[in-house]
Structure 1
Amino acid sequence: MDQNESKMQIAVLIDSENVSSRYASIIFNEIETYGFATYRRIYGNWTKNNGWSENILLENSITPIQQFNYTSGKNSSDMTMVIDAMDILYSGNVDGFCLVTSDSDFTRLAMRLREANMYVIGMGESKTPAALTKACNKFIHLNLIFEASVTLSESQTAELHEDFSSDRSVKANAVTPIADIEEAIISVINDNENKGKLTYMGEIGSRLNSKFTDFDVRNYGYTKLLTFIQDKCAKLELVKENSSYYVKVREINNVSEMQKEVTDLIEKSGGSVDNLSVIYDCLKKKHPDFDLKDYGYSRLSSFLRSMGNISVRGNAVTLKDAAKQKTRKKTKQ
């Protein structure tokens, strides 16, 4: 009883002209995380086919609100939905609103509801303008959640993998960049270190949700924050403590130290190493945690060139001074 009383009463208002009916079940599944859908209303011109069938409305207990198109080219739902939202606000029956739309015209409504101390959840597709996503306390990208919920068979996965990945990468441009998320986590870790505290996964999730209104690991193709950090945040390291995990900034090996080691190896090899794998094996032996991604590189050759005194041609590695001397000898001959 106490648990139910603590959950929010939410008014769910859907703009049928800007949101597909395929998201119906997702909308209310997501709302259950935040509270109860006290009001379930959908707005549109029901004299036209908008994809929201009678069966879908009945299955989800949604009340349709008719609004005729008085002006061509204008969303008929806008004004009616705004008026209803304000009526519900002044009734005092709810703690929050869920505005289901990709239309930036509702940005001011979201801001006004927040000014009235309402918790505002936005739901729409990744095409939703940033103004609306940031005006909400939380914004959920329905198309990305929908894709994450679709289970493909192995044969389908092989056939559709390329198209799916390409589509997701394009839509991912509309969500918070992973680099920004990683830097935000590092900031939290540094703050906690100054206070002598460790940074556990629960706090990371909470802080990310507070900072980024649209943050959801499902936007990036993951179901768990832990796996997302493991795969996508190269600067971070997860440490298991009993049954919990805390996050720390990965200790990166000193580049100047590795530069000296590579230089020594080349000199001991007569001024040239003919195979990059020899250098890689040497670095891995001395630094088991060595990973090129930690330094912002995907190729060993690029990493070695960044050291300044090392030259890489094909698979051969030499010191730049030695390379110059060889060139001079050939010129004299």
Structure 2
Amino acid sequence: MEKNNFNIAVLIDGDNAQPKLLGAMLEEVSKYGKATIRRIYGDWTMQQMNGWKEIINEYSFNPVQKFAYTSGKNSTDSALIIEAMDILHGKNIDGFCIVSSDSDYTGLAKRIREEGIFMMGIGQKKTPKAFVQSCEIFTFSENILNVPQLKGAAEPEVIEGDLKPEKLDLAFIDKAFDISSTEGEEEVYISKLGLTLRKIDPSFDPRAYGFKSLTQLFRSLPTYSVLHNEQNPMVKREIVAAKPKPSRKLRNLKTKPNDRSKSAE
């Protein structure tokens, strides 16, 4: 199905999301489809929801009121889950995006994926791994927050943000390349490689390592090179030659400093 025809329900837990990122979150969703259903859940009588009130109309979201009748119990979670199941059974949607850092949505994410429906999550890095791994794609809000908003300017290869880039696990990259290269090809389409990286780790994001795109990330790796073509760039793994070991005869000629001093005596 083409992305333009891919309908996604964006359901936001207003108690566990950041209003200032709403526009950026919709941009993330637009990479995979269009947000046809837009809802924000919470107790709108509470002061903590004021940030959402200021922008909810700007982005065409519908507020869903859920009163917190009992202290310590989050009625927002249950309301979002119930309505998500209603949407799922309605069969009028192609995917979901749940915006929250709460592990209570883990079961919902698993249930959605069991139906063969696209499941995306957006939340902070404190989000429990169980929820992250239950999604097909999970985007950390810190990665969205760390991208500078540049208008009319060329995109920098390296992101200059407030967060320190994470250290890249090269073994993880090599593993993804091996999986993508099912028949031992030396070159792999970068789009295919990106899908594999997401399958292994739904939260994989080049922005976490200081790069705007996967292509730019691979350009920075000495063991890989990016090959461009008109439609889809490819990645090639370079063979790094091992340094030759000195011959046994040469090693025998080398003497220790102590040995030389003894012979001088």
- Deviation for aligned residue 1:322: 3.3
Amino acid at match of 2:144: I
User: Does 1:192 find its partner at 2:126?
Assistant: no
Cα pair 1:148 1:221 within 8 Å, conserved: no
- Deviation for aligned residue 1:46: 1.1
Write out aligned runs for 1:97-246 (5 A).
Answer: 97-150=96-149, 164=162, 167-169=163-165, 172=166, 177-189=169-181, 191-193=182-184, 198-231=187-220, 233-239=221-227, 245-246=233-234
Instruction: Tell me the residue number matched to 2:14.
Output: 16
Cα pair 1:18 1:102 within 8 Å, conserved: yes
Larger Rg: 1
1:168-190 Cα offsets, whole Å, 9 max, x none, are 34xx48xx84531233114434x
Scaled by the length of structure 1, the TM-score of the pair is: 0.67
- Deviation for aligned residue 1:205: 2.4
CA-atom RMSD in angstroms: 3.1
Q: Percent identity of the aligned residues?
A: 31
Amino acid at match of 2:241: N
Q: Secondary structure at the residue paired with 1:325?
A: helix
Q: Secondary structure at the residue paired with 2:57?
A: helix
Instruction: Tell me the residue number matched to 1:260.
Output: 246
Cα distance in 1 between the residues matched to 2:36 and 2:44: 23
Q: Secondary structure at the residue paired with 1:60?
A: coil
Higher relative contact order (CA 8 A, sep 6+): 2
Cα pair 1:192 1:198 within 8 Å, conserved: no
Scaled by the length of structure 2, the TM-score of the pair is: 0.83
2:256 to 300, 315, 322: 322
Instruction: Tell me the residue number matched to 2:155.
Output: none
Aligned length: 255
Cα distance in 2 between the residues matched to 1:248 and 1:230: 11
Cα pair 2:186 2:237 within 8 Å, conserved: no
Quick check: 107-116 or 207-216, which moved more? 207-216
Instruction: Tell me the residue number matched to 1:33.
Output: 31
Runs of 4+ in 1 over 6 A off after TM superposition: 241-244
Q: Could you say which structure has the higher helix fraction?
A: 1
Cα distance in 1 between the residues matched to 2:116 and 2:85: 13
Gaps of 5+ in 2: 151-159
